[in-house]
Amino acid sequence: MWFLLQNVYGFTSILLYIIVTYLTIRERRHFSHSFVVLFVVFAVVNILSYIGLYLSLRLPIFTKETSPIAAVFKNFPFPSLLRYIIFLCYYLPYCQNMTILLIIFNRFRAIAFPFSKEIPYEVPLSIIAILILPLPLCYDLLFTGAFYKYRPSLQGHYLISETALCIYLFAWNSRQLFVAMFLLPVCNDLNSLTLPYYFILFNRRIKKCFLELPLCKRVMNHRSSGEPPTKPTRL
């Protein structure tokens, strides 16, 4: 049940994130160019971070040894791909933190100096800072092996690197299992997938554009009518 709730929230939030990103790009004339670029980069990084944790921990940890897909984790068909997945699990959080700092600086400048122009080469320098600066902290994961392993105490699998320290390796008692199976996914969701909700709630322009989408208008009209639409009576 908990796994199902995580999937429903995760995939719904990704869809909402894509819609909000599209609306932000469509309404980019109302935002600075640098903010729109940072927002799009942040969206890509957040969605990839969710997918990375989903493949490394969220899905495997709920796959028991008797599950039909357990054979995939025991003999993964593309073992060289696993090192890139675990690399993303460590690399993308650094990218997220760097992007958050740049967005904070961008919004502070817009509020404190509303008539100032953007710094030349600000966008390419920001992208370089987001993508390049975290590399020295975790590039070695690209050159080490990674594999899925079953742990009886977790009753599930997990992705482990030959060199990286994983907190769920030490999940022996109930408290540590709670951290591995509940807190890590929840913290990842809060860090990666909550921005579109905040953006719709607190940005009136994006909220208006979102409510004017055909599906939202249909739901709003249905709720305001108070009754389901009926077919016209034949004469």
What is the enclosing helix (H) or strand (E) of 175?
helix 174-178
Angle between helices 184-193 and 79-112 (to 10 degrees): 50
Asked if the structure places residue 219 within a domain, the reply is no
State the Cα–Cα distance between residues 59 and 14, nearest whole angstrom: 17
Give the total number of structural domains in the chain. 1
pLDDT tens readout for residues 143-198? 888 888 887 777 788 787 776 555 555 555 555 665 666 777 788 888 889 999 99
Asked if the structure places residue 77 within a domain, the reply is yes
Q: What is the CATH number of the domain that holds 197?
A: 1.20.1070
- Is the model's pLDDT at 2 over the cut of 80? no
Asked if the structure places residue 19 within a domain, the reply is yes
Q: For residue 235, give every residue at least 6 positions away whose Cβ sits within 8 Å of its Cβ, in sequence order, or none.
A: none
The terminus-to-terminus CA distance of the chain in angstroms comes to: 51
pLDDT at 160: 79
- Copy the structure tokens of residue 119: 């710094």
What is the enclosing helix (H) or strand (E) of 45?
helix 33-53
State the Cα–Cα distance between residues 183 and 69, nearest whole angstrom: 24
How much is the pTM? Answer: 0.84
| Higher-pLDDT residue of 127, 78 | 127
Torsion of CA 70, 179, 12, 3, to 10 degrees: 40
Q: What is the mean pLDDT of the chain?
A: 83
Asked if the structure places residue 12 within a domain, the reply is yes
pLDDT band at 219 (very low <50, low <70, confident <90, very high): low
pLDDT at 235: 36
Asked if the structure places residue 25 within a domain, the reply is yes
Asked if the structure places residue 89 within a domain, the reply is yes
pLDDT at 175: 59
DSSP label at residue 169: G
Nearest alpha carbon to residue 153 among 188, 180, 119, 177: 177
State the Cα–Cα distance between residues 16 and 18, nearest whole angstrom: 5
Print the domain residue range for 127: 1-210
Asked if the structure places residue 231 within a domain, the reply is no
pLDDT at 103: 93
Asked if the structure places residue 230 within a domain, the reply is no
pLDDT at 228: 55
pLDDT tens readout for residues 44-60? 999 999 999 888 888 88
